[in-house]
Chains A and B, each alone.
Chain A
Amino acid sequence: MLEVRGLKAYYGSAQALFGLDFAVEKGGVTALLGANGAGKTTTLRALSGLIRREGDILLQGKPIDALSAEDIARLGVAHVPDGRGTFTDLTVEENLRLGAYVRSDRSGVRQDFDRVFGYFPRLAERRPQQAGTLSGGEQQMLAISRALLMRPNLLMLDEPSFGLAPLVVAEIFRILGAINRDDGVSMLIVEQNASLALDLADSALLIETGRVALSGPSNAIRGDDAVRRAYLGY
């Protein structure tokens, strides 16, 4: 689905990524792990065209490294950004409609509305409510739903567990698993909570200061002693 070779990224003149290589299989889930400041969020921003980057990024075999963020989104890359990217002054319904902004298949959009309300019934109850008044967990659900309304090929999630209560996190990860299984959406997921991410993912990579330190199937990563001590805490 996604193939990345030699990805470098920059904030102004400061280089943040130093040549990452990894892939997300079609229908697969890849977890992107690492400490604070390692470059996880930067990687997602580079992939979706929000910051200056170099290297080969192939989406379904087609290069997207020279495209603008708008065009990458239109190719079906949905990025749920850190901080959730809620349109706080708009209603829940309007937030969702924006997810479907570039689509013209009205009946498909209606189906997808029903689908996300099936996953997150609480959003259905809050349709006319101003999105900024939702709780953190509800805003995360809204951000995921907005991304799903793009009917994405690749869903990129930046710390979906951030700042949420454990029960809410468990629910969100259960639903992400269902989305991956039922709809075959490929995912690239950035997480601080490594154990949670490895449960969902089939492959994983660990980055340190902008370089890949380790990569492989999630079981192998989970078994790695260094990862276990540093990120899983046992």
Chain B
Amino acid sequence: MNEFLHQLASGLALGGVYAITALALVMIYQATQLVNFAQGEIAMFSTYFAWKLMDSGWPYWRAFATTVVISFVGGVVIERLVVRPFAKAPVLASVIVFIGLALIFNALAGWLYGYSVTSFDTPFSGRPWFGNVYMSAHESGAVAVSLCVLALVYAFFRFTPLGLAMRAAAQNPVSSRLVGIRVGWMLAMGWGLAAAIGAIAGMMAAPIVYLDPNMMAGILIYAFAGAVLGGIDNPFGAAFGGFAVGVLENLMGAYVVGAEVKLSVALAIIVAVLVWRPSGLFGRRLVARV
């Protein structure tokens, strides 16, 4: 029983990372109906940036905050320079741009920092929290940080005028322009937010999976699976899906099939759920009138 709870709890830690990465994917998806395949590599690059800052002696939280801010700006710049010119292009052109971005950031990180696996600091070290024997301090911290991010993003979109304008721009761009909302900038802000969230996800994941240019590849697949499982048009569902995938992955690895094929089995379960509910557990079913 203890062992089971332990596996469950440590699944939640990476699950939190999947959850916020899924949230970042959903944000871009809702505005553009496109999945940003570069989300993971941009997050990895941000994590290297944080590592570089800490390596040069910065304290953890200062490096953390700086990385989040720089990543936000970077996300905005990428949208303006690289993504925006393809706004009216066919879907496949955008997909190629995203894949290209992913490859570029991956190669850039390898070239700048090398391909060797590096350890990454955590601010949550020492004894487990509140006598929680099932999770390490970092795992508890990662879950807490993920939940904070989810709460902050929710509050931002729900309660601030800018958040409302971003939702409006994603939903009905024409009506948004007619009330004076600068829709193009809202999209850029969305990219900025997604990059900032990605940076946090990367920094929470790196102490667990270690830092290397390919660290986010698997995480992105799990996060995408989580988003689709929960419903890619529903931020709450996507976050739930992320946690669910994290737990499922861990339990599968520990009890059912072993670590080698746990990815396949977890994905098989997701496919099964989607056969049963094609728009995800919490997704809205789109019914087209004929």
B84 at the interface (CB under 8 A from A): no
Among B92-100, B179-187, B201-209, B259-267, the one that faces the other chain is B179-187
Which of B174, B179, B182, B183 touches A98 (beta carbons < 8 Å)? B179
Tell me whether A73 and B177 are in contact in the complex, defined as CB-CB below 8 angstroms, given that A90-B167, A94-B164, A101-B165 are known contacts: yes
Please tell me if the beta carbons of B180 and A97 are within 8 angstroms of each other in the complex: no
B181 contacts across to A, CB distance below 8 A: 70, 98, 101-102
Rounded to whole angstroms, the CA-CA distance of A88 and B167 in the bound complex is: 11
A85 contacts across to B, CB distance below 8 A: 172, 174-175, 178
Please tell me if the beta carbons of B177 and A70 are within 8 angstroms of each other in the complex: yes
Which 4 pairs, one residue from A and one from B, show the smallest C-beta to C-beta distance? Answer: A85-B175, A73-B180, A102-B180, A69-B177
B176 at the interface (CB under 8 A from A): yes
A62 contacts across to B, CB distance below 8 A: none
B254 contacts across to A, CB distance below 8 A: none
Tell me whether A102 and B164 are in contact in the complex, defined as CB-CB below 8 angstroms, given that A81-B174, A85-B172, A89-B171 are known contacts: no
Chain B min CB distance to A116 (Å)? 14
Rounded to whole angstroms, the CA-CA distance of A48 and B175 in the bound complex is: 11
Which of B161, B172, B177 touches A87 (beta carbons < 8 Å)? B172
A8 at the interface (CB under 8 A from B): no
Chain B at the A interface: SS class:
helix
A40 at the interface (CB under 8 A from B): no
A68 contacts across to B, CB distance below 8 A: 177
Contact with A along B113-153 (1 / 0, CB 8 A): 00000000000000000000000000000000000000000
A53 at the interface (CB under 8 A from B): no
B63 at the interface (CB under 8 A from A): no
Rounded to whole angstroms, the CA-CA distance of A73 and B168 in the bound complex is: 16
Please tell me if the beta carbons of A101 and B179 are within 8 angstroms of each other in the complex: yes
B171 contacts across to A, CB distance below 8 A: 87-90
Which residues 100-121 in B have Cβ within 8 Å of A in the complex? none
A interface size (C-beta, 8 A): 25
Closest to A71 in B: B180
A74 at the interface (CB under 8 A from B): yes
Chain B min CB distance to A165 (Å)? 22
Please tell me if the beta carbons of B177 and A50 are within 8 angstroms of each other in the complex: yes
Please tell me if the beta carbons of B182 and A70 are within 8 angstroms of each other in the complex: yes
A99 at the interface (CB under 8 A from B): yes
B168 contacts across to A, CB distance below 8 A: 87, 90, 94, 98
Chain A min CB distance to B240 (Å)? 19
Rounded to whole angstroms, the CA-CA distance of A94 and B179 in the bound complex is: 13
Q: Which of B164, B174, B175, B181 has the most CB of A within 10 A?
A: B175
Contact with B along A73-93 (1 / 0, CB 8 A): 110001101000111111000
Chain A min CB distance to B213 (Å)? 39
Which of A70, A87, A89 touches B183 (beta carbons < 8 Å)? A70
Chain B min CB distance to A72 (Å)? 9
Which of B161, B172, B174 touches A101 (beta carbons < 8 Å)? B161
Please tell me if the beta carbons of B178 and A102 are within 8 angstroms of each other in the complex: no
Please tell me if the beta carbons of B180 and A150 are within 8 angstroms of each other in the complex: yes
A-B contacts, 29 of them at CB < 8 A, read A50-B177, A50-B178, A69-B178, A70-B182, A70-B183, A71-B180, A73-B180, A78-B178, A81-B174, A85-B172, A85-B175, A85-B178, A86-B175, A87-B171, A87-B172, A87-B175, A90-B164, A97-B161, A97-B164, A98-B179, A98-B181, A99-B179, A101-B161, A101-B164, A101-B181, A102-B179, A102-B180, A102-B181, A150-B179
Rounded to whole angstroms, the CA-CA distance of A190 and B164 in the bound complex is: 30
A88 contacts across to B, CB distance below 8 A: 171-172
Closest to B30 in A: A89
A97 contacts across to B, CB distance below 8 A: 161, 164
Chain B min CB distance to A161 (Å)? 20
Additional A-B contacts beyond A70-B180, A70-B182, A87-B175 (17; CB < 8 A): A50-B177, A69-B177, A69-B178, A70-B177, A71-B180, A73-B177, A73-B178, A73-B179, A85-B172, A85-B175, A87-B171, A90-B168, A94-B168, A98-B165, A101-B161, A101-B164, A146-B179
Rounded to whole angstroms, the CA-CA distance of A79 and B174 in the bound complex is: 11
Chain A min CB distance to B287 (Å)? 14
A150 contacts across to B, CB distance below 8 A: 179-180
